[in-house]
Amino acid sequence: MEERWEDMWKTYEEALNWIHGIRTFGKKPGLKRMEWMMERLGHPEKKTPAIHVAGTNGKGSTVTFIRNMLEEHGLVVGTFTSPFIEVFNERISVNGEPIEDSEIVRLANIIYPLAQELEETDLGGPSEFEVITAMMFTYFGEGHADVAVIEVGLGGLYDSTNIVLPEVSVITTIGMDHMAILGDTLPEIAKQKAGIIKPAVPVVTGNIPYEALEEIKQLALECQSPLYEYATDFSVSDWHTLPTWGEQFTFEDDVLRLRTIQLSMLGKHQVENAAAAIKAVELYAERKQLTLKHEALLRGVKRAFWPGRMEKISDEPIIVLDGAHNEPGVERLVETIKHDFPEQEVRILFSAVVNKDIQQMVDLIQSLPNVQLSLTTFDSPKAATSEELGPYIRSGITYYEQWQAGLLSELETMGEGGILFITGSLYFISEVRRELLAAD
């Protein structure tokens, strides 16, 4: 086998072309392909302590809060996230730094012969995400991190990351998204997300609706997994928005009381994500006999940054990127605008992918009296086009065929003191961010 993979992919581009060219859909659901590969690789998923993070929204932010707090305690922290915002390599990172191109090539060459062999079995070849997940477990299993914080790709129960036995599980939020795959009610979706719960492994939940939380409680009870609920087992108080940019609050549970916690990210939902992250780190420290330091926790939370999530990329004029890519994400965006910018002129430039409930998202945005909404598209086969956006272009909504033209037009017509939010699909945010930062 060694001869076979050594000569397969020579360049980063070749490796990526293979990974991205793998058929993703149509695979039988389940973890058998991952289990098969992990066994052949010597079970790297068992070699590094992990924290497993699921949820409809808030996963990436929660991962980065956890990472930064653990880093501040001197740990080398690996993270696995998706999708990427700047470069593919950031999906597998150590202390926030994406792994090198050469490592992507090396890891792809390790997994490729296994993928070819698996293709010949009744299980069929792995999906793109299964390949990337196998690369991640291989890398962290080699000892490149003291702990891995692993974000679920989709759902939880059948997600390829769910072969891991973590020290702590986290479920951030439950909302209506990916209904065609996960179910069309909150309890059905919650059941899929709760699939990451493992016997006797503690579970932290964020701000989750009652009917969804009941499903999580039931599974935690069956698994005899201690459950720590937001607003019940840990809570926040004294929350207010900082005049600069970000939030401040107090965290409290039976063990910790952290005052004057400052976030560099904006929105009450980020306060909730940070609180769940603090509880997860506390539980991880308890299980691994790590002494927590209050100042290190405060530094970590404040330092945490997640690109494309309420990210202010310009002060004059104020331009904010926010990947509100589904209905729950847009709800959080609307809440933040209501709370923080109720009197200001707000412009929103929005683009979505075709499989989202665009009508609901447009209606939510238009419920704000001080907001002017514009729709656009971007360079992706997944992007909703002018034809698909046509039904939502009505009185008071402008459509731009090119988002760059829309950006210029909105800035030219926006009054002094106004704010422009560029939001929607994470793929859209990634494209906009890349171009705007390159222009700087």
pLDDT in tens, 269-305: 999 999 999 999 999 999 999 999 999 999 999 999 9
- For residue 5, pLDDT beyond 90: no
The pLDDT score that the predictor gives to residue 24 is 67
* 370 and 231 fall within a common domain: no
* 368 and 260 fall within a common domain: no
Query: What residues pair up with 314 in beta bridges, in sequence order?
Result: 319
The structure tokens listed for 329 are 């994400």
The structure tokens listed for 104 are 């992507």
- For residue 114, pLDDT beyond 50: yes
The radius of gyration of the chain's CA atoms, rounded to the nearest angstrom, is 22
- Indicate the pLDDT class of residue 161, thresholds 50, 70 and 90: very high
* 267 and 329 fall within a common domain: no
Cβ atoms of residues 50 and 149 within 8 Å: yes
Cβ atoms of residues 138 and 111 within 8 Å: yes
Query: What residues pair up with 347 in beta bridges, in sequence order?
Result: 372, 420
Q: What mean pLDDT value characterizes the chain?
A: 93
Query: With 0-12 CB in 10 A as exposed, 13-18 as middle and 19+ as buried, what is 422?
Result: buried
- For residue 430, pLDDT beyond 70: yes
* 53 and 152 fall within a common domain: yes
The pLDDT score that the predictor gives to residue 180 is 66
Number of domains composing the chain: 2
Range of 368's domain? 311-439
The pLDDT score that the predictor gives to residue 182 is 73
The structure tokens listed for 24 are 């993703």
CATH of the domain at 363: 3.90.190.20
- Indicate the pLDDT class of residue 3, thresholds 50, 70 and 90: very low
**Gap between the Cα atoms of 425 and 123, Å rounded:** 33
* 61 and 23 fall within a common domain: yes
- Indicate the pLDDT class of residue 25, thresholds 50, 70 and 90: low
How far, in Å, are 34, 356, 436 from residue 439 at the CA level?
41, 30, 5
Phi then psi for residue 5, to 5 deg, are -85, -25
* 237 and 371 fall within a common domain: no
pTM for this prediction:
0.93
Helix (H) or strand (E) holding 419: strand 419-424
246-258 average pLDDT score: 97
CATH of the domain at 233: 3.40.1190.10
* 363 and 296 fall within a common domain: no
206-212 average pLDDT score: 95
* 128 and 154 fall within a common domain: yes
Listed in sequence order, the residues at least 6 apart from 140 whose beta carbon sits closer than 8 Å to its beta carbon are: 44, 47, 48, 78, 148
401: how many CB neighbours lie within 10 A of its CB?
A: 10
* 344 and 292 fall within a common domain: no
Closest CA to 227 of 189, 279, 157: 279
Closest CA to 147 of 52, 51, 80: 51
- For residue 1, pLDDT beyond 50: no
Per-residue pLDDT reduced to its tens digit, 376-411: 999 999 899 989 988 888 778 999 999 999 999 999
- For residue 7, pLDDT beyond 90: no
Cβ atoms of residues 400 and 384 within 8 Å: no
The domain boundary, picked from 256, 271, 303, lies at: 303
The domain boundary, picked from 303, 332, 366, lies at: 303
Amino acid code (one letter) for 434: R
Closest CA to 128 of 229, 20, 288, 228: 20
- For residue 256, pLDDT beyond 60: yes
* 255 and 315 fall within a common domain: no
- Can you give the length of the chain in residues? 440
Task: Give the DSSP letter string of 135-167.
Answer: HHHHHIIIII-SEEEEE-SSSSTT-GGGG---S
* 353 and 250 fall within a common domain: no
User: Lowest-pLDDT range, 4-8, 147-151, 204-208, 300-304?
Assistant: 4-8
- Indicate the pLDDT class of residue 2, thresholds 50, 70 and 90: very low
* 255 and 339 fall within a common domain: no
Helices (H), 152-265: 179-182, 186-193, 210-222
How far, in Å, are 55, 56, 128, 365 from residue 329 at the CA level?
12, 9, 26, 11
- Indicate the pLDDT class of residue 175, thresholds 50, 70 and 90: confident
The pLDDT score that the predictor gives to residue 14 is 97
